[in-house]
Structure formats: structure tokens, C-alpha cells
Chain A
Amino acid sequence: MASQDLRNWTVYARRLKSALLDPTVDQAELEETLRQARERAPIPVVWLLGKTQAGKTSIIRALTGSDSAEIGNGYQPCTRTARLYDFPEAAPVVRFLDTRGLGEIAYDPEEDIRYCESHANLVLAVMKIADFEQQAVADVLRAVRRRHPDWPVLLVLTGLHELYVPGGEHVLPYPFDDESGIGALPDDLQRALVRQCEVLDSLAGRGAKAWVAVDLTQPEDGYTPQHYGIEPLWRAIEEVSALGLERQLRGDESVRDVYARSAHQQIVGHAVTAAALGALPVVDLVTVSGVQAKLLHALSNLYDQSWDRRTTTEFVSLLGAGVATGLVARMVGKSVVKFIPGFGQSVGAVWGASTSGAATYALGKAAVYFFAQRNAGVRVEAGNLRKVYAEALDSGAAMLRERFGRTRK
């Protein structure tokens, strides 16, 4: 068995190496396979519902840490039609549906509701806390919950500073979590809060519903912290939706800097794609290594490093045969289970998803470690790299199990 593993490892390493060095191989075929895979593993859609300039795009930006979401300047509608943000663009982890500006033009939510119908969902109703003309938003919310009683709804109240006394600052620590904290808020803010939350009472259905207050400002606005209430927002999203979004978009506690966070989102995205590939009836090593090559390329771009023959050889050899053994064993096991009729269709799919997905995840994490060490000018220790890989394999598997376990009932 050991000798066979070793032989398999060389085959796999050769494939990965050639995919890395020549990423144009079978590009069209790869794209087509990826498209099929995405259909099998739909990306969760977070539906942002709110009037123009309510702060929807600011929320997308704060959640993803990405600047690509266009932010309006406070008075002009920047969202003319319903808009989808795939995030990250190349290998999406989540999809944001930004509605057309409610109240700005005649808005018929039917189309958006229909679009979201087949997806795993979370509805974020975004309201400026000082804006009380929320009839349109409330109407759509009620319609959504009548048709989909178990969709979770999270009411996000934005623009808190509009109700501060002139010259006022954020109340710190964040006071909205308990009764006594709310008592310390400016009077107008308290009353507005009660008033705006009334809409939640009128919603039918048994799906979770909650509210959270945030103030997502831009640096020049002069409020600190700039993203006031972002932690409670994450908590609330996790509570009502159980989509594991925070884990997928932010990573663990250690992931704090912009590079690492962006890398994490790329890794999750590609891992999800690879996992989805694994769920397809027939899939070969070439396709999976194609996805992994794409990921490693994206990461090398992010860390401003090139994947030449020397780096590739160094990385693959450092990763070593031991890592490869586990990897290939999983691959083989997956292929066998998958071809057992009936049983293989369901169990095999989940298992396949977690193996090729987790391997991709671990490969990505190992590559990030590899690049970071090299950027810092430190020699990469083979033992450390393998340890990172092994740990990531477990956490990736857990993450994917959570993701696919929840979206497939």
C-alpha cells in the first residue's frame, strides 16, 4: 500500500505542478465543469432590502472588508437596479443581492423574491434609524415572510449618529445588547429604536427574526470606531442564519490583517468550488488540481510572488510525501464510494465534498504560510508547513461539513 501511495503521490504532484506552471490547460473545459459544480452547490444569497442610501452597500463593504462594493455619497442613489455581488468574484463564498432603491422608483419585489426562492437565504432589512418612512420595506418584509415563513430576517438599523445630540459621539461600549445600556442612549435614539423595531412584531412565520444597530461610517466622517456595531452584526447574522458566514468571510481570530482576510475568502471560495466538484458523479484529479492551481495563482498574486518552476518544486517538495499520502488516500476512497449506486449518490457526495474541498482548503492555507514566510525573508520549515496543512485539513473539513450539511437537507 505504501509503495502505491508513493507512486500516486508522484502522479498527483506532477499534475499539480503542470497545472500550476501552465494554467491555460483545458481552461474552457474547467470553466464548464465549475459551472456545473456551482449549480450543485448553490452559493447562499444574502438579500439586502432597504431604501436607497439606507446603508446597504456599506454593510456589504464592512462584512467583506472589500472596497469593490460601490458606496453612495449620501444623497444620490447608486443602486439603480437589483445588483448581485459575488464575493469573492472568482470563487464566490456568498452572494449579495442588493435591491433597487425602494421608494426611489416604483419597486416590485416579486422578481427579487422569485430569484431568492431557490436559495439558502438571509434577509437583511436595512433602515436608517432616523428615517420613519419605511412602509415600502415593511410591505416587502411581510410579503416575504408570508411566502417563506422560515426565512430568517435581520433588521439592521443604520445611521445612528443622525439622532445623536449635535457634536455627540458613539456610546462605548456598545450599549444595545442589554436593557440598561439602551437606557444610557440619547432619548430620541431610544424612542426611534422602539418605533423602528415594531415592524418585526408584524412579521408572520417561525423563522428567526432579530434586530441590530450599527453605524458604518467612512473615515472622513470623523466617528470612532468607523464600523460601530460590526461585531454585534456578525453575531446576529450567525444567530439568525446559521450560514457560517463569519467563519467563511473572516476566518478565525488570528485572521485580522487585510491580506490574510482576503486570502482566507479566496481559499474558502475555491475550497467550496472544489468540494462542489467532488459532488459531481465523474470528476478526475485534473479538474480538482485545476481549481487548486487557480487558488494558488490567486494567492501568489495577492502576496506578490511568482509561481515559477523553482518555487513550485520547492513548495511541493516541502509539503512532502506524508501530506500527499493522506490526500491521495482520501481521493481514492471518495472515487470508490461514489460509484456505489444509491448509497454513493448521497454519502459519497458529502464525503467527496469534504475531501477534495478540505484538501484545497489546506493547500491554500499552507501556501499562505509559505508565501508569508518567504515575504518575511524567513526560511520555510518543512515540519511547520506540514503542521499548518494538517490543521487546516481538519478545520477546512469542519467548515465544509457545516456548509454542505446545512444547505443540503
Chain B
Amino acid sequence: MKLSRLLRRIDPLRAVALLLSALPMLALVVLGLLWLWQNGFLLWWLGAMVACAATAYAMQALLMKRQRKLLADAATEPNPQWPPAADEVWGRVEALADELDPEDWPLDDAERLLGLGRRTLDTVAEAYHPGVDKPLLELTVPHMLLIIERASADLRRDIVDHVPFSHRLVIGDIFRMQRWRRSAEKLFLVYRAGRMVINPVHALVGEAWRGVRDLGVGAVSGELHRWLLSAFVRKVGFYAIDLYSGRLPLDESSPSDQVTEASRKDDERAAEEAKTSSEPLRILVLGRTNAGKSSLINALFGELAAASDALPDTTVDLVPYALEREGMTRALVFDSPGCENGLFAQASFVKAARSADFVLWVSPVNRPDRQQEMKCLQQLRAIYANDAAKRPPPILAVATHIDRLRPAAEWQPPYDLVVAATPKAENIRDAVVALARDLAFEPGDVVPVCLADGRVYNVDDLLRSALLDRHDSALRIRLMRCVDARRRAENWGLLRRQLVGAGRLLRRLSGRADKR
């Protein structure tokens, strides 16, 4: 019916002229086929055509696979520095991106695409401000502008990297292509209909080949379409989460480039010459009395820094030490008193625990009475678990006093704990396992060391490599901490400026009143 309407719209004279001009070429097709048939080559020819089509299809499939991979690589991933609460919101964004049907969102309809962006923003805004009537409005104008800026820059990069010829095509081209494509399709339909009438055999073969080809190309273009849509949603969602979780600072520089206020003070306490260029890692050393916390710090420094003694209570307060060693990020190491005296009830310790990027839990292997210790550790873990806005820092257990295990007088390192050939090595291994079990640590998170004078063992190699293993996640915690500190500082700074401004206004007003 469509065809008849089309035919009716075409001038018969023009149709005849078109037909006449094409007749010699069409005749060639007919004559060629006739020749093939008469010489018995027709089947060969058909076979060759099918083989070519199959090969072409395979190549299309390969291309499609490569393109798919390229597109998959360009998918937007959630930011690992987001607080745990953001995971759920990101899940919603991904769900939205996945359920998009390319049919519903044609690329040439800018209005609809903007609507899709808005829907994404709404999804994120709703998650962060449930119960607010218009959650989308819960953001400031500078932040809104920033989000657009960031998302645009990212999309530009992605398109240049992943869409072929994108740097040559202008927008007009795309639109022209769209328009041209639609009229071309119409003409092609006429051509196919005519061909069917003139040469049914050829037309049938041609139709079959076309079907095979379309399958490939259509899939690829659909894939691209789907990718563009979901990349768009994810990109907007990503920055929306950054924005609503308050992690998007207006300042461009990296947040951990500057020292937070708290660390600055500690830096000053640790060393007068603290002219630091970057935020240090904050390492909190915790554990029971006489576990070897101060000795551990001394061993890490390689020189005497903290007071350690056989008698308890040498450390009565949190004491920071600046640790600078090659191959390690500059760190502030905090020595603490024994945890069994109800440490975590104190606000200062809760604060210290919250601001730590790394926790070293020092536990003596030769003291199996771990009830109190476990209680402290549980409190510490609860502090982190209850803080949904932050990821917990890595906690490494340092098992000290391994030299005091039986046989007590023997000390002949190195000890191979995997094979554990000697009774001492066997006891060290079993003690470490018992400690890990009692304090609910993964066995891999417990490092056996000896810190006694002249017997320091496993600190420079095993402990240090364990620290380095967890270095990246500690840095991530540091970054999150810096972002929070920066945001607080920014809020206070703005407020102060605004108040100063308001103060001037008041003064002017009162000045005017005085004059009167």
C-alpha cells in the first residue's frame, strides 16, 4: 500500500524516462545471468555470492565485537572515593542507564535527551533529599554550572576517544546525514520494488544479502546508540552524586594537596620545621598496655622517637610523631596509651580514630587474655561501621613479642612460618593464628614481629610490605578526609565573608542613622 502510494506520487513520464535510462544496465544484468545460465556457471556464481556474503558477515561481526569492547571500556565507573552511601545511589543510576530502550530516545531529538538528563538528576537528587518536594533545586548555582562543565569535558574526551571520525564530523553533518538517510531509504524502497518486478531471481538473492548485511550494521548502530544514551546518563549521574554528596569542591586543585587544620597543628607539634607540601597519612597505633606500641614506632623510625619501657603508662596521651622515610608517604604516627583503660569512651580518641587513615593494632602474642582487648577493638570497629559517610581505614594487626614464645631462650631468626620446621616457628605460627581468631582478623592481616632491643625482626621487610599493600586504600581514606575538611573550611570561609559583608552593611546603616 505504501508502495502504490509512492508510485502514484511519481510522474509517469519521469518514471518511463528513468526506466529507459536504466534499461541498458538492467539488460546487462539479465543478459549476464542468461549467459551464466547457458554456460552452466549460474550455480557457481550463486555460490560465490553466498560465500562473499558470509565472509562479509563474519567481518562485520568481528568489527562489532571490537566496537563493543571499545564502548565497554568507555563506561563510566563509580568513584572509589565516594562514601559508602553513594554506592546505593550509583546503583540507581546504573539501573536507569541499563533499562533505556534506544527506540524511546532518538538521538536527533534534543528536547528528549535533555529530559533524560533531567530524569537522571532527579534520580540522584531524590536519593539524597528524600521527602523534599523538588529535590533538584537542592543545589547551588555555581555547583550546577560546575557539573555541566565537568560532564561536558568528560563527554568530549569520551567521544573523541571512542567514536570514529568524531573529530571530522560537524553537528550539521550528523543532521544532514539523518535527513539524507530518510529520503535515501524511501528511494531504495522504490528500487527494490522495481527490481523485484524486473528480475525476481536476482532480486531474491539481493534481498537475502541485504538482510544479512543489515543484521550486522543495524546491530552496531543500535549498540552505539545505546552506549551514547547510557554514557550520557552515567556521566550526569556521576557528577550529580559528586555534587549532592558534597564532594565537588569549587576549587580546582586536588583536595589532599593542602594540609587540613587538624594535621597542621599536629605537624607543628611534631616538628617545628613542618613546612609540609602535602597532607600526611595519619597512622594510629593502638593496643593494650605494654604491647609494644612505642617500640613499634621506634622500629619504624629506625631510631629512638617514642619513649618505651617495660613498665606500663609511659604513654599517657595521644602523641604524634612525624615519620618520613624513603618509599613511604609522609606520615603522622600517633602513639596511644593502653586501650584497656576505657579508651574509646573518650571523645578525643573517637576523634582520633575517625581522622585516622590507617590503624595499626599492636597485640602481644604471648598474652591470651584478650577479652578486654577484643572489647576495645569491637568499639573501634563500631565507630567505623556506624559512620556510613566514610569508608573504614585499613586495620593491620601487629603481633609482637614472638621471641617470648616457647622455647623461650631460643632466638635464631629467620623463621619460616609457612613450613614451620622448628618448634619455635611452629609456636609463632600457631600463636598468630590464635591471635587472628581471637581478635577476628583475617590471618593475612596479622604480621608477626619482634621489637626487643637488638632483636628487631620482620619490621623492615614484612611489616613494611604489609603497610605498602594497604597504602592505596589508606591514601583513598586520606583523600576523603581532606575533601570533608575542605568542604567544612569552604563553608566556614564563605559564611565568614558573607557575615563580614553583612557587618559592613550594618555599620553603614548605623552610620547613616547616626548622621541623622
Residues of A within 8 A of B (CB): 51-53, 73-77, 101-106, 130-133, 161-163, 165-167, 188, 191-192, 195, 217-218, 220-223
Contact = CB atoms under 8 A, between A and B. Distances in A.
A-B pairs with lowest CB-CB distance, top 10: A103-B369, A222-B409, A188-B310, A221-B408, A75-B431, A132-B312, A220-B407, A221-B407, A74-B406, A51-B369
28 contacts: A73-B430, A74-B404, A75-B368, A75-B431, A75-B434, A76-B368, A76-B430, A101-B369, A103-B371, A103-B372, A130-B310, A132-B289, A132-B290, A133-B288, A133-B312, A133-B372, A161-B409, A163-B310, A165-B453, A166-B411, A166-B452, A192-B311, A218-B407, A221-B406, A221-B407, A222-B408, A222-B409, A223-B409
B410 interface: yes
A133 B289 contact: yes
Contacts of B312: 132-133
B434 A222 contact: no
Contacts of B453: 165-166
Interface in B435-452: 435, 452
Interface in B314-351: 338, 340
Contacts of A221: 406-410
Contacts of B311: 132, 188, 191-192, 195
Interface in B442-472: 452-455
Contact of B404 (A106, A162, A191, A192): A162
B405 interface: yes
B241 interface: no
A74 B430 CA distance: 10
Contacts of B290: 130-132
A220 B424 CA distance: 10
B340 A133 contact: yes
Which of A133, A161, A165, A167 gathers most chain B CB within 10 Å?
A133
A132 B291 CA distance: 11
A165 B411 CA distance: 12
B427 interface: yes
A14 B369 CA distance: 59
Contacts of B427: 73-75
Contacts of B409: 161, 221-223
Contacts of B288: 133
Contact of B370 (A104, A131, A220, A222): A104
A76 B427 CA distance: 11
Contact of B407 (A130, A131, A222): A222
Interface in B97-138: none
A163 B338 CA distance: 19
A221 B452 CA distance: 18
B89 interface: no
B381 to A, nearest CB: 20
Given A74-B405, A75-B365, A104-B370, 18 more contacts: A53-B368, A74-B404, A75-B434, A103-B369, A131-B367, A133-B288, A133-B340, A161-B408, A165-B453, A166-B455, A188-B311, A191-B310, A192-B311, A217-B408, A221-B406, A221-B407, A221-B408, A223-B408
B165 to A, nearest CB: 69
A368 B367 CA distance: 44
A52 B366 CA distance: 10
Given A53-B368, A103-B372, A221-B409, A75 B310 contact: no
B503 interface: no
A18 B367 CA distance: 56
B423 interface: yes
Contacts of A101: 368-369
A218 B406 CA distance: 9
B406 A220 contact: yes
Contacts of B454: 166
Contacts of A52: 368-369
Interface in B358-392: 365-372
Contacts of B408: 161-162, 217, 221-223
B369 A53 contact: yes
Interface string B401-438: 00111111111000000000001000100110011000
Contact of B430 (A51, A75, A162, A163): A75
B338 to A, nearest CB: 8
A163 B403 CA distance: 12
A227 B397 CA distance: 34
Contact of B369 (A104, A166, A218): A104
Contacts of B371: 103-106
A191 B410 CA distance: 25
Contacts of A104: 368-371
A130 B408 CA distance: 14
Contacts of A102: 369
A75 B423 contact: no
Nearest to B313: A132
Given A130-B290, A221-B409, A75 B372 contact: no
Nearest to A169: B409
Contacts of A161: 408-409
A386 to B, nearest CB: 50
Contacts of A166: 403, 411, 452-455
Nearest to B410: A222
Nearest to B408: A221
Contacts of A53: 366-369
A133 B310 CA distance: 13
Nearest to B365: A75
Nearest to A72: B368
A215 to B, nearest CB: 9
A20 to B, nearest CB: 45
Which of A75, A77, A133, A220 gathers most chain B CB within 10 Å?
A75
Which of B290, B370, B406, B453 gathers most chain A CB within 10 Å?
B406
A122 to B, nearest CB: 24
Interface string B183-196: 00000000000000
